[in-house]
Structure 1
Amino acid sequence: MIRFSCSSLTVVAAVVVVAGAAYADVDPLPSWNDGDTKSVIITFVESVTTEGSASFVDENARIATFDNDGTLWVEQPMYTQLAFAFDQVKAMADAHPEWKTTQPFQAVLEGDMKTLGEAGEKGLLEMVAATHSGMSTEEFEKTASDWLSTAKHPKFDKPYTELVYQPMIELIDYLQENDFKTFIVSGGGIEFMRPWTEEVYNIPPEQVVGSSITTEFKMVDGKPALMRTNKIDFIDDKAGKPVGINSHIGHRPIAAFGNSDGDFEMLQYTTIGADGPRLGAFVHHTDNEREFAYDRDTHFGKLDKGLDAAEENGWLLIDMKADWKTVFPE
């Protein structure tokens, strides 16, 4: 198995020569600063796509997976879908008077972030299930799309779909140009993401893997419909990510990109014990001026054990402050 790590002097020495030739004329990653991180990525792509190379990988096995929150778009001060759920609680509150005295809904309505945090994952899942159910898949898609078209991030005052990371968009484009099939594998809701990923990332809905609630087929007013229930079907996070990859994609990736411990198992599944060249990488949020700086001590996007295990496993740490010329599209 071949791994790529910026901690290896041998790899870095080879990288400088190969990568220099690779993008001397046309830089495939113009929003990335020149350095070890950029060179390792380019060298990996060159090695698996050069016919005759010992590391060559057939096109049908060139699978790359990307987490979404914190890897492709902003996830602070909270996950975007959670912000959507909060607004849905407020919009639906008149029809649910019991929410005024029921947690975690009461905390949302009162803006009590401390109590909301104490509700934990169970409380948040309960809130998402309540606000994302009782409608058809088409109705939910319209509700989510309408919200995304008007909602703005509290810090940047821009639509969330404009707060995607330009360097990662370039990376997706670069991989696709080299015949990789790119997938989103996110803890976010699969039906929350699918309506917009093709327009924003050039990743079609059938290449999106995410968490889901159960749906039921029903005839509604004489027409077939898929109705969303309030039961959680699958959580595509942590150990669930390799399961989701297997069930939706059917191939082990050769490259995986995440940013948090929620992606730890996806990087393990991609890089450890597998034949051939592999690339695992974490986006490390180190830029509080242009975005946010966080890793071990945060409620959203915690990177703790992944930070400790990166060097041992040969995983790349993409330093946002040092490695990216720009963060968001200009």
Structure 2
Amino acid sequence: MPRHHRVSNCFSTLLVIAMLLLTSTMAAAQQVLPSWRDGSTRQAIVDFVQAVTHEGGPKFVAVEDRIAVFDNDGTLWTEHPVYFQFAFILDRVKALAPQHPEWKENEPFKSVLAGDMKGLAASGEKGIVELAMETHGGMTTDEFNAIVTDWFASARHPKFKRPYSELTFVPMRELLDYLRANGFKTYIVSGGGVEFMRPMTEKMYGIPPEQVIGSRIATKYMLKDDKPILMREPKVDFVDDGPGKPVGINAIIGRRPIFVAGNSDGDYEMLRWATAGDGPRLGVIVHHTDEVREYAYDRETHFGKLDKAMTEASERGWILIDMKNDWSKVYDALP
């Protein structure tokens, strides 16, 4: 075979190999965070993960220190028009009302039963706590677990008419999977009730109950018919919100996370504390900007207010995730 033919064939072979490698690389890239649009936000996350997992690199982090924490309400699932747990409380008041005829005359129960949200709001934090204690206490942990599981199976979101369990954010679930595939241990750190979340988090996010940190009411060991039970008492034990979040992380995990995700000022202290540690750190904030596929809100809202954290995000190196522009998809069940 003439030499120029051999050179031509060799060149063609190299070209085919290069094209195959490029195609393979592009396909692999598309498999990472596929519901995230290409852009600076997605790239910053990928760059961070690649840097901390590159053994021998200047930013390498040992596996045992790859801790990632995620808020839940508004970060992993929708939180409007009200927090899921608040919707659960309202439904529980209505379900228990026949056993409490006095509620028709006593606030804040009267407003709930009358559908008077302004009246309920007037009862303030004290009223909300009273509702929570009445609907969450006075039962065993197993009984409460069953009630929560049944509610998630039957309740529907008022806007989307879908089970609340279907309103988790696909891009954030992809992020959880991506982090775990790169040696991270993922935790939920939420202001929501820990035993409200635990029955659902493994199915929804792949996060087992022991990796869920949340607010809790007092629980007491006792015997009932000579059988040991854990009884939930109607009093607050710990509030895992605001400054309580880093306290809860330290108490339960014992390590400072290197990756933290939130969406509101309730996550501010967690973001500050987690990203203030030594070595590479990344904080991300889900900014609700999509009024069509989800909701649009930040500084002016009763649920998930994002003000101080958004103002300081740039100077502290926190990334604002623009839901409308950074995500090609929000939910599995909806467009």
Q: TM over 0.5, yes or no?
A: yes
Aligned length: 310
- When residues 193 and 22 of structure 1 are mapped into structure 2, their CA distance, relative to the original with a 3 A threshold, is farther
- Which of 24, 27, 32 pairs up with 2:26? 24
1:329 is matched with 332
Matched AA of 1:156: F
- Is the 8 Å Cα contact of residues 22 and 42 (structure 1) preserved in structure 2? no
- Within a 5 Å distance, the mapping from 1:64-213 to structure 2 comes to 64-213=68-217
Give the C-alpha shift of residue 25 in structure 1.
3.4
One-letter amino acid matched to 2:305: K
Larger radius of gyration: 2
Structure 2 partner of 1:317: 320
The CA distance in 1 between the partners of 2:125 and 2:33, in whole Å, is 37
Distance 1:87 1:148 in 2: 11
1:301 aligns with 2:304: yes
Specify which of 241, 248, 261 is matched with residue 257 of structure 1: 261
How far apart in 1 are the matches of 2:48 and 2:75? 19
User: Which ranges in structure 2 are unaligned for 5 or more consecutive residues?
Assistant: 1-21
Using a 3 Å threshold, how does the CA distance of structure 1 residues 85 and 22 change in structure 2: closer, same or farther? farther
Pairwise CA distance, 1:222: 1.6
Correspondence for 1:33 among 32, 37, 44: 37
Q: Match of 2:4?
A: none
The code of the aligned residue for 2:82 comes to M
Q: Give distance in 1, aligned partners of 2:184 and 2:288.
A: 26
Q: Which moved more, 1:188-197 or 1:111-120?
A: 111-120
Match of 2:8 in 1: none
CA distance in 1, matches of 2:23, 2:322: 24
Deviations 1:232-288 (A, max 9, x none): 00010000000110111111000100000000001001112x110000011000000
SS, match of residue 257 in structure 2: coil
- RMSD (CA atoms): 1.4
Q: CA distance change for structure 1 residues 196 and 265 in 2, over 3 Å: closer, same or farther?
A: same
- 8 Å contact 1:48–1:55 — kept in the other structure? yes
Runs of 4+ deviating beyond 4 Å: 20-23
- Which residues of structure 1 form unaligned runs of 5+? 1-19
Letter aligned with residue 108 of structure 1: V
- Provide the secondary structure at the position in 2 that maps to 1:194: helix
Residue type of the alignment partner of 2:180: Q
Q: Deviations 1:47-70 (Å, cap 9, x if unpaired)?
A: 000001110000000000000000
SS of the residue corresponding to residue 196 of structure 1 reads helix
Indicate the SS of the match to 1:289: coil
The residue aligned with 1:278 is 281
For residues 170-205 of structure 1, give each alpha carbon's deviation from its aligned partner in whole angstroms, at most 9, with x where no partner exists. Answer: 000000000100000001110011111111100000
Deviation of the 1:24 alpha carbon: 3.2
The structure, 1 or 2, with the larger RCO (C-alpha pairs under 8 Å, 6+ apart) is 1
TM-score, structure 2 length as denominator? 0.90
Q: Distance in 1 between matches of 2:323 and 2:150?
A: 31
Q: CA deviation at 1:23?
A: 6.5
For residues 66 and 125 of structure 2, the distance between their equivalents in structure 1, rounded to whole angstroms, comes to 34
- Corresponding residue SS for 1:41: helix
Letter of the structure 2 residue corresponding to residue 228 of structure 1:
R
Distance 1:66 1:125, change over 3 A: same
Q: CA deviation at 1:226?
A: 0.2
CA distance in 1, matches of 2:278, 2:318: 16
Cα distance, 1:25–1:209 mapped onto 2, change above 3 Å: same
Q: After superposition, what is the alpha-carbon deviation per residue over 1:112-146, rounded to whole angstroms, capped at 9, x for unaligned?
A: 11121222222212111110011000000001100
- Change in 2 beyond 3 A, CA 1:178/1:154: same
Rounded to whole Å, the distance in 2 between the matches of 1:167 and 1:125 is 33
The aligned counterpart of 2:294 is 291
Deviations 1:31-80 (A, max 9, x none): 00000000000000000000011100000000000000000001000000
